[in-house]
Homo-oligomer: A and B are copies of this chain.
Amino acid sequence: MKRISKKLLMALVTVGFGLSATGSAWSAESLDDVMKRRGLSQKDVLSAAKTYVPTGKRDEFLAFSSGGQSGQLIVYGVPSMRILKYVAVFTPEPWQGYGFDDESKAVLAQGRVNGKDILFGDTHHPAISETNGVYDGQYLFINDKNNPRLAVVDLSDFETKQIVVNPIMKSEHGGAFVTPNTEYVIEAAQYPAPFANEYVPLSQFNEKYRGAVTYWKFDRKEGRIVPSESFSVELPPYSQDLSDFGKGPSDGWSFTNSFCSERYVGGIEKGRPPFEAGCSQKDTDFFHMVNWRKAAELVKAGKAKKINGHDVIMMDTAVKEGILFLIPEPKSPHGMDVSPDGKLMIVSGKLDSHTYVYSFEKMMALIKAKDFAGKDPYGIPILDLKKSLHTQVQVGLGPLHTQYDSKPCVAYTSIYVDSQVTKWDYCEGKVLDKLSIHYNIGHLMTMEGDSVTPQGKYLVSLNKLAIDRFNPVGPLHPQNHQLIDISGDKMELLYDMPLPLGEPHYAVAIKADKLKPKIRYKSGWNSRTDKRHKFRTRPGKERIERDGNKVRVFMTTIRSHFTPEIIEVNEGDEVTIHVTNLERAEDETHGFAISGTNANLSLEPGKTASATIKADTPGVFPYYCTEFCSALHLEMQGYLLVQPKGYQKTSVKGTEGTIYKKADYDKQFKTNLSTQGVIDTVVGYITARNYQDFKPVVALVEDATEQLGFAANTRKKAEGFAAKKDWHNATLWAGQWWQYQVKAADIGLRAKTYLDQHGAKVIKK
Contact = CB atoms under 8 A, between A and B. Distances in A.
B276 A736 contact: yes
Given A27-B485, A417-B631, A49 B45 contact: yes
Contact of A26 (B203, B415, B492): B492
A18 B351 CA distance: 20
A95 B503 contact: yes
Contacts of A650: 201
B275 A637 contact: yes
A11 B596 CA distance: 61
A735 interface: yes
A139 to B, nearest CB: 13
A267 B27 contact: no
Contacts of A498: 82-85
A753 B84 contact: no
B636 A276 contact: yes
A205 B34 contact: no
A723 interface: no
A538 to B, nearest CB: 15
Interface string A729-749: 101110110010010011001
A383 interface: no
Interface stretch (A243-251, A294-302, A330-338): A330-338
Contact of A732 (B273, B595, B731): B273
A86 B473 CA distance: 10
A119 interface: yes
A204 B654 CA distance: 5
A764 interface: no
Interface residues of A, number: 272
Interface stretch (A225-233, A366-374, A528-536, A598-606): A598-606
A565 B274 contact: yes
A162 interface: no
Interface string A690-730: 00000010000000000000000000000000000000010
Interface string A452-495: 00000000000011111111111111100010010111111101
A760 interface: no
Contacts of A204: 652, 654
Interface string A184-224: 00000011011001111111111101000000000000000
Interface stretch (A304-312, A313-321, A572-580, A613-621): A613-621
A351 B471 contact: no
Contacts of A732: 264, 272-273, 277-278, 281
A628 B696 contact: no
B277 A733 contact: yes
Nearest to A165: B596
Given A77-B471, A631-B350, A268 B595 contact: no
A282 interface: yes
Contact of A466 (B57, B159, B587): B587
Given A10-B353, A417-B746, A476-B158, A620 B269 contact: no
A30 to B, nearest CB: 8
A564 B268 contact: yes
A8 interface: yes
A280 B281 CA distance: 75
A145 to B, nearest CB: 8
A50 interface: yes
B94 A735 contact: no
Nearest to A2: B283
Contacts of A198: 618-619, 644
Nearest to A563: B268
Interface stretch (A128-136, A404-412, A511-519): A511-519
A602 B736 contact: no
A3 B283 contact: yes
A763 interface: no
B47 A52 contact: yes
Given A84-B478, A95-B69, A628-B503, A264 B52 contact: no
A21 B415 CA distance: 12
A26 B49 contact: no
Contacts of A561: 266, 268, 274-276
Contacts of A28: 488
A269 B631 contact: no
A106 interface: no
A474 B31 CA distance: 37
B68 A433 contact: no
Contact of A269 (B56, B170, B564): B564
A191 to B, nearest CB: 4
Given A48-B52, A475-B605, A266 B566 contact: yes
Interface centre among A76, A594, A634, by most chain B C-beta atoms within 10 angstroms, is A634
B500 A7 contact: no
Contact of A353 (B8, B199, B562, B647): B8
A92 interface: yes
A658 B280 CA distance: 12
A474 B146 CA distance: 28
B3 A753 contact: no
A602 B158 CA distance: 28
Contacts of A442: 628
A531 to B, nearest CB: 16
6 contacts: A82-B498, A83-B498, A146-B593, A199-B641, A203-B653, A272-B729
Given A148-B595, A280-B739, 14 more contacts: A4-B283, A8-B351, A15-B415, A29-B487, A55-B438, A70-B94, A76-B500, A91-B94, A146-B594, A202-B566, A262-B657, A268-B561, A275-B561, A475-B607
